[in-house]
Copies of this chain bind each other. A is one copy, B any other.
Amino acid sequence: MATVKLWSDAEADADARVSAVFADIRATRGSDVVNNFWRGLANDPALLERTWSALKTVMGPGTLDPLTKELVYIAVSIANGCPYCIHSHTAAARAKGLTEGQHGEFLAVVGMANQTNALVNGMQIPIDAAFRVEEGP
Contact = CB atoms under 8 A, between A and B. Distances in A.
A58 B115 CA distance: 12
Sort chain A's interface into a size bin: 35 or more
Contact of A3 (B51, B63, B87): B87
A66 to B, nearest CB: 11
Number of copies of chain A assembled together = 6
A124 interface: yes
A87 B130 CA distance: 10
Contact of A124 (B2, B43, B117): B2
Listed from nearest, the 4 A-B pairs whose CB atoms lie closest are A44-B104, A79-B79, A76-B113, A115-B115
Interface of A: 1-6, 33, 35-37, 40-41, 43-44, 46-47, 50-51, 54-55, 57-59, 62-64, 68-69, 71-88, 90-91, 94, 99-128, 130-134, 136
29 contacts: A1-B134, A2-B123, A2-B124, A3-B124, A6-B125, A35-B131, A37-B123, A43-B100, A47-B104, A54-B54, A71-B71, A72-B109, A72-B113, A73-B109, A76-B114, A77-B113, A78-B118, A81-B81, A83-B121, A85-B116, A85-B117, A85-B120, A94-B133, A107-B122, A110-B118, A110-B119, A110-B122, A111-B119, A124-B134
